[in-house]
């Protein structure tokens, strides 16, 4: 059965596209066929793919398509997506009319959170949107939060220290969400691959790349462990 994930945040620059490309590269390395759907009007994912093509860095096992309407998203998932093991949607903001369609079609919604108050607000809005759609349509779409662009000094920021209790508060209020343990650190390579270098897994195995790959592998493993045995309320 095809796994359908959606990266959701209504804040620009939250790191959705980076998260999508990192996960796609990891799943592709594992031999899975991955379809990436660019449903964000900023078209960052499509831009990455175009640059990869121009620089002859198109990764194996990954295909990117753009979908700007409800019908095109549904067709991409229902028709094209059947030929893939994994579909990952780079979604538009939660205030978009497309958001309901994307969340309804997903098995899992993932929101990146950077250590900043606006990021927390955006993640909270994503959780609320998933909860509303679950209740409206009788669904059970899970929501996960991933801390991104973390630095050692940044761990001392008040906003960073507030992430865990913020998510714990939503869990206590019976929102269907969870904070993952794996963090994505602020790494140069995560920015550089967006300039058409393909995926993280295509880069030479220097020590920084090795650390980054270990990090992304841990993230994908944690996501799949959650899917296999969901742990939600009280797990933040």
The per-residue pLDDT for range 193-217, each reduced to its tens digit, is 999 999 999 999 999 999 999 999 9
pTM to 2 decimals?
A: 0.93
Q: Which tens digit of pLDDT belongs to each residue from 146-174?
A: 999 999 998 988 989 999 999 999 999 98
How far does Cα 236 stand from its chain's mean position? 18
- Separation of alpha carbons 236 and 227, rounded Å: 16
Reported in sequence order, the residue ranges of the chain that DSSP labels E, i.e. its strands, are 3-7, 34-38, 62-66, 86-90, 108-113, 142-150, 177-185
- Separation of alpha carbons 9 and 17, rounded Å: 11
**Helix H or strand E encompassing 170:** helix 158-172
The region that residue 188 occupies, defined by phi over 0 for left and psi between -120 and 50 for alpha, beta otherwise, is: alpha
- Separation of alpha carbons 117 and 88, rounded Å: 26
Burial (Cβ within 10 Å: 0-12, 13-18, ≥19) of residue 218: middle
Residue with tokens 């993952």: 180
Determine the pLDDT at residue 130.
94
Q: Residue ranges per domain, the chain?
A: 3-228
User: In the structure encoding, which two tokens stand for residue 176, read together?
Assistant: 């269907």
| Residue-level pLDDT, tens digit, the chain, 236 residues | 689 999 998 877 778 999 999 999 999 999 999 999 999 988 999 999 999 999 999 999 999 999 989 999 999 998 887 899 999 999 987 556 788 999 999 999 999 999 988 888 998 999 999 999 999 999 999 999 999 999 999 898 898 999 999 999 999 998 999 999 999 999 999 999 999 999 999 999 999 999 999 999 999 999 999 988 776 544 44
Residue with tokens 């949107």: 129
**Helix H or strand E encompassing 106:** none
Q: What's the half-sphere exposure (Cβ side, CA atoms, 13 Å) at 147? A: 24
Reported in sequence order, the residue ranges of 123-232 that DSSP labels E, i.e. its strands, are 142-150, 177-185
DSSP states of 47-93 as a string? HHHHHHHHTT-PPTTEEEEE--SHHHHHHHHHTGGGG-SEEEEE---
Query: 3-228 architecture in CATH?
Result: 3-Layer(aba) Sandwich (3.40)
Helices (H) and strands (E) in the chain, counts: 8, 7
Determine the pLDDT at residue 227.
87
């Amino acid at each position: 059965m095809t796994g359908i994930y959606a990266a959701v945040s209504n804040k620009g620059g939250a790191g959705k596209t980076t998260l999508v490309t990192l996960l796609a590269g990891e799943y592709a390395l594992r031999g899975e066929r991955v379809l990436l759907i660019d449903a964000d009007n900023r078209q960052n994912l499509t831009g990455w793919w175009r640059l990869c093509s121009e620089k002859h860095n198109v990764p194996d096992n990954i295909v990117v398509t753009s979908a700007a309407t409800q019908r095109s998203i549904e067709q991409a998932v229902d028709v094209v997506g059947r030929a893939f093991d994994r579909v990952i949607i780079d979604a538009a903001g939660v205030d978009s009319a497309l958001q309901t369609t994307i969340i309804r079609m997903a098995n899992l919604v993932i929101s990146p959170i950077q250590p900043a108050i606006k990021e927390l607000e955006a993640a909270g809005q994503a959780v609320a949107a998933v909860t509303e759609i679950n209740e409206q349509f009788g669904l059970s779409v899970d929501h996960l939060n991933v801390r991104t662009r973390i630095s050692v000094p940044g761990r001392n920021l008040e906003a960073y220290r507030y992430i865990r209790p913020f998510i714990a508060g939503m869990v206590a209020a019976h929102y269907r969400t969870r904070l993952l343990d794996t963090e994505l650190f602020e790494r140069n390579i995560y920015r550089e691959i967006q300039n058409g270098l393909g995926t993280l897994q295509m880069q030479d195995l220097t020590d920084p790349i090795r650390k980054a790959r270990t990090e992304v592998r841990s993230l994908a493993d944690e996501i799949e462990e959650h899917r296999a045995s969901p742990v939600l309320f009280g797990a933040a």
